[in-house]
Amino acid sequence: MRKKTLFLFCGLLFTLLVLFPCVIGALSDGWVDGEAYSSAGGCKGSDGVLLSEKPAILYVGDKTTIAVKNASEKSMDNTWSVYDEKLEILRSYNIQATVLGRKAGYSMIKFQQVSQNLFGGQEVSWNTKGVYILPANLTLTNAPSTMEPGQTLQLSHSFERGVPFGEINTYLAEQGAPNSITLTKEEESALWSRAVDEYYNRKVLYTSSNPSAVSVSQDGVLTAVGGDAVITVKLEGLDVKAQFTVSVPVEPVAVERVDLTAEKDEFTIGDSFRLTPVFTPENATDQAGEWTVSNTRLLQNNGDGSFQALAAGRVVITFTANDGGRRAQYVVTIRESNVEAQSIAIHAGAFSSWVDNGGIRTYLMNTGTIRTISASVSPSDASQTVTYSSSNSAVATVGADGRITGISAGEAVITARTENGLSASIRVRVQSQEPPPQSDPTPPTPSEPENSSSSEASSEPQT
């Protein structure tokens, strides 16, 4: 019984001292500066793999080598990784890695080792090391602010450390580095004098925000055309760049010719359309001008090259360029609506009296008097053009505007006809009267159609 109790106690003690710390250690993400972990030795701060006591310090574009002090001789797999893009692992071999500073700031590098433990299982250990990356500057020694059209220039540049010698500790303190991170004069001198070969091994990239104004070749040769552009020079893969703006005066290009274009030249009433001026040469400097139309009753001119058809007819549109007064003309034809008329009705509200003649309404008027009728065509977007005629002009005449004049006693049929041949009619009886002719006392007003016709035959006799 005592042996069994002792065995259980030892098992519990093993769990508390070995397995539990390993679980705690396994929960760590491994990205705390100086954190060490070993699955065999417990949690953070254990005797896992060791790097060095102080964080590494280097400039952007500079590189340094970090080594493991106590790697296991039974290592099965060694892995190096970086926390973010501020660092780049140039190369790694077993227990050491060479890293490059790509962007100013603070980052970390991590070493993880998988080795074989005493029981033949796997043991995972890691450690992290903080790295401070100091800024570096790219300086253009001959960046121009202005150039002349056609001028070329080869850009020259140099690289400089962004934190001068003697100010590194101050800079680190401003970045929040602990007081323990302090370089001696010797360490600062060694950092400052370290070769920066990576600067010169990196490709230099040139770009222009406006190549049509100022272009730049892959070799850094500027070519001025005309206009403003921002030139950017940077090192590939490093956060080191320089920018400047260059202005090139634009030489005016005169207008030699102007033409007008549109999708078509025939429109119907109500259509809106636009004309586009085409300049020769295409890069003419002043491409503004004035729009005019030959008949504003037929065509509405909006002044910006857009127009709206108002009435049927033929209109000449003229564009006059501001530069040199070059002119272009465009002729458009406006037609009535293409929508077919479906019906027509006559409004005879101007007549004051009528009689029923066998079911047919006959309107009464005296000789010498005038009555005006109107006609409406449906649908409303169809052509509203109507022609009038009289079956007996010796009794009554009718004008193009629908004005009926009583000539002599008798009866006549007045007909209104659409462009596509639909018609509507009214019968008029003229009674003799001696008074002189008088003007129409009642203007035409919309009223209920007295007689109408569609594609079926009219109820009134046709002539």
The Cα–Cα gap between 277 and 305 comes to 8
Cβ contact 387:355 at 8 Å: no
Cβ contact 3:24 at 8 Å: no
Cβ contact 277:306 at 8 Å: no
Residue type, 2: R
**CA dihedral (74, 77, 83, 85) positive or negative:** positive
- Tokens representing residue 327 in the block: 């002119």
Provide the pLDDT for residue 182.
83
Which of 334, 398, 336 lies closest to 372 in space, CA to CA? 398
The Cα–Cα gap between 52 and 67 comes to 8
The Cα–Cα gap between 404 and 345 comes to 17
Q: What angle do CA 71, 75, 77 make, to 5 degrees?
A: 110
- Tokens representing residue 206 in the block: 């040139």
Query: Scanning the structure block, which residue is given the tokens 């002119």?
Result: 327
Question: What domains does the chain contain, in order, with CATH numbers?
Answer: 19-134 (2.60.40.10), 136-164+188-248 (2.60.40.1080), 257-335 (2.60.40.1080), 343-453 (2.60.40.1080)
Chain center to CA of 377: 47
What is the pTM assigned to this prediction? Answer: 0.47
Residue type, 340: E
User: Left, alpha or beta for 172 (phi > 0: left; psi -120 to 50: alpha)?
Assistant: alpha
Provide the pLDDT for residue 431.
95
pLDDT in tens, 57-82: 888 888 888 887 765 555 567 888 89
- Tokens representing residue 24 in the block: 């705690």
Provide the pLDDT for residue 458.
37
Task: Name residue 158's beta-bridge partners.
Answer: 139
Provide the pLDDT for residue 402.
94
> Could you list the mean pLDDT of each consecutive 10-residue stretch along the chain, which spans 463 residues?
50 43 37 45 41 76 80 66 90 84 89 70 77 88 93 90 88 84 84 65 89 94 94 89 93 92 91 95 92 95 95 94 94 86 92 88 94 91 87 95 94 93 94 63 50 40 34
Provide the pLDDT for residue 38.
46
- Tokens representing residue 295 in the block: 């008949």
Provide the pLDDT for residue 232.
95
